[in-house]
């Protein structure tokens, strides 16, 4: 068995980091500005909410489909590369003039393939890290740096050239992502998962694991108004595109700090505690966004808590997934996590936000999002504390 030191020597940090960098750089263009692009195409708020819900709807099936295909493949890395190539081809369709209704079909195809690849790559990263999974943040942080760079640069370009140029700016990022996929591979031959499926569902049925997935689902549900309408919400309250880019960037800058230092936290405290803190902070963030949207200092402080509600939450989730689904089971765990929490939680969050948006121009949507996050924190606090887990394990 390899020691942590041996793992540290063999981890291809640069190759792994490059994939996170380009994946989240593209997401840094998509998440803040895609709703503005759709608005520039003449879509209403209701139509945009449906379009953005497709991003999350494909997460329900894409991650589990792709990880399952990779699990039974003699060369699972092929599926990562196929997914990236198909992401380029489907996204390129946005560059072709076409009737507005065709955008829905293109969106489904693009989102399916783009959402399919990251859960598989998370498993690839964990096969390299092995027992050094606490070092995950030092690799994942490059995704946050890519996000910051693109949010800042693209915000300036869109303000001066209009949101219609966004697809042309994003396509090169997907090309670079695909190049990174061809340079990456699993740390070892992970083999077939056929014999592990029964054990996987037995793990899922355990109360702490069920509580984890439900809490993660509620956390993603709470992000529905933010990921779908935050840019439009800020625009409605008089924020320029460059100031909007600053709002997104501030949150990710603090996210970078969390990824750099979170390994020290995990050496002293269990990931469950940070998961609870993350969801509680998200509740406060959404309530502040609902009540004081025109107060720039309050909004900046609210955005800084993104380091907890997203970065700390995500890093904690990766630690718990590595604990609950070791070895060959991790790919299935990643697929379920992305499909159920980010997928189902995301699509319902976007649709609920769209329905609530008419009440107070977004205020009610963010208030309800805060209650979703609070409920998730309470569930995690009741079922996931380390002392309770230790007693169950004993």
Residue 323 has pLDDT above 90, yes or no: no
151 found inside a domain: yes
What are the tens digits of pLDDT across the range 60-75? 888 888 888 887 888 8
User: CA-to-CA distance for 320 and 337, rounded, in angstroms?
Assistant: 11
User: CA-to-CA distance for 166 and 151, rounded, in angstroms?
Assistant: 12
126 found inside a domain: yes
What are the tens digits of pLDDT across the range 370-394? 999 999 999 999 988 664 443 343 3
Its domain, for residue 204, covers 12-186+196-393
6 found inside a domain: no
370 found inside a domain: yes
The pLDDT of residue 4:
42
Buried/exposed 243-257: b ≥16 CB within 10 Å, e otherwise: ebbbbbbbbbbbbbe
The DSSP-derived string for 202-268 is HHHTSHHHHHHHHHHHHHHHHTHHHHHHHHHHHHHTT--HHHHHHHHHHHHHHHHHHHHHHHHHHHH
User: CA-to-CA distance for 143 and 317, rounded, in angstroms?
Assistant: 17
1 found inside a domain: no
Both tokens assigned to 238? 């008089």
Contact between 333 and 325 (Cβ < 8 Å): yes
**What is the DSSP secondary structure assignment for residue 375, as one 8-state letter?**
H
Q: What is the CATH number of the domain that holds 179?
A: 1.20.1250.20
What are the tens digits of pLDDT across the range 248-300? 778 778 888 888 788 778 878 888 888 999 999 999 999 999 999 999 999 99
Residue 3 has pLDDT above 60, yes or no: no
User: CA-to-CA distance for 220 and 310, rounded, in angstroms?
Assistant: 9
Residue 301 has pLDDT above 70, yes or no: yes
On average, the pLDDT of the chain sits at 84
Task: Please state the rounded mean pLDDT for residues 26-50.
Answer: 86
5 found inside a domain: no
Buried/exposed 33-69: b ≥16 CB within 10 Å, e otherwise: bbbbbbbeeebebebbbbbbbbbbbbbbbbbbbbbbb
7 found inside a domain: no
Domain count, the chain: 1
327 found inside a domain: yes
Residue 351 has pLDDT above 90, yes or no: no
């Amino acid at each position: 068995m390899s020691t942590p030191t041996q793992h540290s020597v063999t981890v291809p940090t640069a190759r792994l980091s490059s994939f996170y960098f380009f994946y989240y750089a593209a997401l840094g263009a998509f998440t803040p500005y895609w709703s503005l692009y759709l608005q520039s195409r003449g879509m209403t708020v209701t139509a945009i909410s449906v379009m953005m819900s497709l991003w999350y709807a494909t997460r329900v099936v894409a991650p589990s489909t792709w990880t399952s295909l990779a699990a039974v493949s003699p060369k699972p890395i092929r599926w990562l590369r196929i997914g990236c190539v198909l992401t380029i081809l489907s996204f390129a369709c946005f560059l072709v003039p076409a009737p507005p209704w065709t955008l829905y079909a293109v969106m489904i195809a693009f989102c399916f393939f783009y959402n399919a690849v990251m859960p598989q790559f998370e498993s690839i990263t964990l096969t390299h890290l092995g027992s050094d999974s606490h070092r995950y943040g030092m690799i994942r942080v490059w995704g946050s740096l890519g996000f910051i760079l693109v949010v800042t640069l693209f915000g300036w370009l869109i303000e001066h050239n209009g949101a219609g140029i966004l697809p042309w700016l994003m396509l090169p990022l997907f090309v670079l992502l695909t190049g990174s996929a061809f340079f990456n591979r699993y740390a070892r031959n992970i083999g077939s998962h056929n014999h592990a499926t029964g054990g996987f569902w037995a793990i899922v049925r355990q109360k702490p694991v069920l509580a984890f997935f439900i809490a993660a689902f509620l956390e993603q549900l709470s992000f529905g108004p933010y990921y779908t309408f935050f840019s439009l919400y800020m625009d409605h309250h008089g924020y320029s595109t460059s100031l909007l880019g600053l709002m997104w960037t501030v949150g990710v800058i603090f996210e970078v700090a969390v990824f750099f230092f979170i390994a020290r936290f995990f050496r002293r405290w269990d990931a469950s505690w940070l998961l609870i803190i993350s969801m509680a902070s998200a509740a406060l963030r959404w309530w502040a966004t609902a009540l004081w949207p025109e107060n720039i200092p309050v909004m900046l402080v609210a955005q800084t808590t993104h380091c907890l509600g997203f970065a700390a939450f995500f890093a904690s989730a990766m630690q718990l997934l590595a604990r609950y689904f070791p070895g060959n089971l991790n790919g299935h765990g990643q697929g379920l996590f992305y499909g159920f929490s980010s997928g189902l939680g995301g699509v319902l969050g976007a649709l609920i936000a769209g329905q609530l948006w008419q009440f107070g121009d977004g205020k009610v949507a963010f208030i309800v999002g805060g209650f979703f996050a609070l409920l998730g924190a309470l569930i995690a606090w009741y079922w996931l504390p380390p002392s309770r887990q230790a007693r169950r394990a004993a």
